[in-house]
Chain A
Amino acid sequence: MSSSRSGADRHTPGTMRAGSGRTLDGMDDELAISVRGLRKAYGDNVAVAGVDLDVHRGEVFALLGPNGAGKTTTVEILEGYRHRDAGEVSVLGADPAHPDIDWRSRVGIVLQGTGEFDELTVAEVIRHFSGFYADADDPAKVIERVGLAGKAKARTHTLSGGQKRRLDVALGIIGRPELLFLDEPTTGFDPEARREFWELIRDLAAAGTTIVLTTHYLDEAEALADRVGVIAGGRLVEVAAPNRLGNRQEALATVSWRTPEGTVESAQTATPTAFVADLAARHGGEVPGLTVTRPTLEDVYLTMIGHSR
């Protein structure tokens, strides 16, 4: 998490709200996104089956889920691209089904698919898009920021997959959005490019931008998000801070060790420290092959999306 933010408070909206003594209006003010009972079907295929979701201003929220879980449909409804079948949606205080120019200029969008301008250069595309916004950022600065300075004069069709994605991000942030949507932004990135991209997201978040990103990378959600919503089968299975997902912290720990006969024993316990102390006493010293583990985020996640299938 970024050093300039204390994300911990956001992980527990209940306590946060209690502390702020808000009115109903005040609460709306804190919310960048509010969704109730969102539904969307394509023919017989129900893509989103009743999603409730709040995203606070200044928060980094990750929608995590397998392919086909309803991430993109949900996000594209919030972006004003798709119409919902049912439910209430408010994004920056307006209904995205009827986006106006002012609303559009406050929302930045990085789509999953790239829209390519093969005949133009990176700088030309970014400069052109900056003209759509009243308060656009400096194109040269944005090019620098996404790491395309060396490619500013290159035609976009000569860019690599990762570089094209950076251009997408540049176009998403050129208007200095209050709210930025990123749909699977790092697909196709090499590990180094991902780290750089994460830094960029942390910078934006530190500057107060609300960020909603979808991803199917657990480490990405864990590294960036204040809260993670796990979506599977069109439903939000759980919303929590990454380290609290699936009650990970309270989950039973697994202690395992090797017996003198060479077989591996294991036990699940809520009090691993006492258990290990007891084990050590019984062994009269070092316990051979001792490990204490808790479920990883991946374990928790796989259980969650497994349950909903």
Chain B
Amino acid sequence: MTTTTKPATPVTATRGRRPGAGALALRQGRLEITQFLRSRESVVFTMGFPVIMILIFASIFDGTIGGGVKFTQYFITGMIATGLMTVSFQNLGIWIPVERDRGVLKRYRGTPMPKWVWFAGKVIMVIVIGIAETALLLAFAVALFDLDLPGTAGKWLTFGWVAVLGVTACTLSGIAISSLARTARSGSAVVTPVSLILQFISGVFFVFTDLPTWMQQVAALFPLKWMCQGLRAVFLPESFGAQEPGGSFELGRVALVLALWCVIGLVVCLTTFRWTTKRDG
């Protein structure tokens, strides 16, 4: 009679090894990339959008903005920045609510996966897709519109840190804003207007200094303007810095504002991130 009360078979004796932390993050990243690439809408609208935009813009404005510098050289900075924002902020802000609503996040929470692994997977996906998409954009612009790539190691370095800081700020903001959406569908309703307005006021579609001063000041509160400005320092001649609102490309301030957004984004993520929907408790 007491035999039936014995504990379950001692499974602990045969426990193997779980993949290490790094391997777990890489697996998660690979899964996220697979999911992204298999979702046709994501590939077309996230990866294709900046390429389509540069095709349109470079075809309409085929002149120069003075000093023998082509319009393409100016607009490429906005398109790169927009592309990076799309793949991070917009992509996460739209998809995380969908995954939360579908119960994917809740399911992950029920496994022994450490929480950070899930975030790491998203970051890996954003970085890989971001690099691929930027490379695609540059390749098109070089092949079709004679874009001049940065000529010095220093400029590539600037390109690198502006992109990394910008993507980090946008990724964290995207994760943060995902908690605002109550349902799967409201994700794009929350995120799309925000990114569209930022694109208009941050000098993606127009020369930034042509915009009204108040608009420039509003834009200066958000990361996209500073990403564009940092990238202008990479793709435009040094002398163009004088035309910026601050009289130079202000790379120090670019770094400061983007870093500040990383901190804000991180704090908001840590305090508001939800693995389940509101109705789920």
Chain A residues with a Cβ under 8 A of chain B: 5-7, 9-10, 16, 19-20, 29-30, 42, 56-58, 73, 76, 79-82, 101-102, 104-105, 107, 109, 111, 113-120, 124, 128-129, 131-136, 171, 175-176, 178, 207-210
Contact = CB atoms under 8 A, between A and B. Distances in A.
A291 to B, nearest CB: 37
Nearest to B23: A131
What size tier do the contact residues of chain B reach? Answer: 35 or more
Contact of A115 (B8, B27, B107, B112): B107
Given A111-B106, A132-B113, A20 B2 contact: yes
B102 A115 contact: yes
A211 to B, nearest CB: 11
Contacts of A109: 110
Given A16-B1, A81-B276, A81-B281, A116 B104 contact: yes
Contact of B4 (A9, A128, A131): A9
A10 B4 contact: yes
A129 B27 CA distance: 10
The secondary structure that dominates the A interface is loop
21 contacts: A7-B4, A9-B4, A10-B4, A30-B7, A42-B281, A57-B6, A76-B281, A104-B112, A105-B112, A111-B107, A114-B103, A118-B39, A120-B38, A128-B31, A129-B111, A131-B18, A132-B112, A135-B14, A171-B107, A176-B11, A208-B9
A208 B17 CA distance: 22
A57 B7 contact: yes
Contacts, number: 119
Contacts of A111: 103, 106-107, 110
A116 B102 contact: yes
A134 B35 contact: no
A111 B105 CA distance: 12
A134 B103 contact: no
A231 B208 CA distance: 65
A146 to B, nearest CB: 16
Contacts of B102: 114-116
A135 B14 CA distance: 7
A19 B2 contact: yes
A82 B109 CA distance: 12
A-B pairs with lowest CB-CB distance, top 4: A115-B107, A115-B103, A208-B8, A105-B112
A16 B5 contact: yes
Interface of B: 1-2, 4-9, 11, 14-19, 24, 27, 31, 34-35, 38-39, 102-114, 276, 280-281
A9 B103 contact: no
Contacts of A116: 102-104
A66 to B, nearest CB: 20
A19 to B, nearest CB: 5
A309 B105 CA distance: 35
Nearest to B110: A109
Given A56-B5, A104-B110, A119-B35, A135 B11 contact: yes
A205 to B, nearest CB: 10
A104 B39 CA distance: 31
Contacts of B39: 118-119
B18 A133 contact: yes
Contacts of B18: 105, 131-134
B16 A134 contact: yes
Given A9-B1, A10-B4, A114-B103, A207 B34 contact: no
A133 B14 CA distance: 12
Nearest to A210: B8
Given A30-B7, A58-B7, A132-B112, 13 more contacts: A10-B5, A16-B2, A81-B281, A102-B112, A105-B112, A113-B103, A115-B105, A115-B106, A117-B104, A131-B18, A132-B18, A134-B16, A176-B11
A131 B114 CA distance: 12
A81 B106 contact: yes
Contacts of B38: 119-120
Contacts of A19: 1-2
A120 B36 CA distance: 10
A114 B101 CA distance: 10
B3 to A, nearest CB: 8
Given A58-B7, A207-B9, A120 B19 contact: no
Contacts of B16: 134-136
A175 B111 CA distance: 9
B11 A178 contact: yes
A11 to B, nearest CB: 11
Nearest to A10: B4
Contacts of B31: 120, 124, 128
Given A57-B8, A79-B110, A109-B110, A115 B104 contact: yes
B35 A81 contact: no
A134 B15 contact: yes
B4 A5 contact: yes
Contacts of A57: 5-8
A7 B3 CA distance: 11
A128 B104 CA distance: 13
Contact of A29 (B7, B24, B104, B281): B7
A96 B167 CA distance: 36
